[in-house]
Amino acid sequence: MNKILLSIFAAGLLFSVGHALQCYKCDFGLGNLCITSKVTCDAGQNCFSGIGKAASAIDIKSKGCLAVAECNKTSSYNLPGTTNATVYAVTKTCCDSDLCNAASNLVHLNTFPLALLTLTSFLVTKVLV
């Protein structure tokens, strides 16, 4: 009986220790371009997706791990040496399941314009040659 209880305890310990939250990470993205990788968060962190604007026109994006206490807050980034010249502000929204800050919206390549450009290039080359 003791061996069975010890085995159950060991299996439970492996599952609780071995499972850490994985998130997509992108330090800084402009518009729809943000190169991502996967990262394992430390204890007390959740995945986050950060969205903001620079100069009220350019979309800023970031993703990664964030301390739970910092979730759902807006961070302002100022010019070095100033306190009121905000360059951009990012609102960071958290989630708590593996890869929940999905990377699919970060790198978005629409294939139709690329195919149209390729076809046009072939037609122009055909006419000129």
pLDDT in tens, 57-66: 888 899 999 9
Burial of 62 (C-beta count, 10 Å sphere; 0-12/13-18/19+): buried
Q: What is the CATH number of the domain that holds 71?
A: 2.10.60.10
Prediction pTM value: 0.61
Does 6 reside within a domain? no
pLDDT at residue 85 above 80? Answer: no
Residue 54 pLDDT grade (very low, low, confident, very high; cuts 50, 70, 90): confident
Q: Residues 29, 62: contact at Cβ < 8 Å?
A: yes
24: which strand partners? 38
64: number of Cβ within 10 Å:
20
Q: Which domain holds residue 47?
A: 21-128
Number of domains in the chain: 1
Burial of 59 (C-beta count, 10 Å sphere; 0-12/13-18/19+): middle
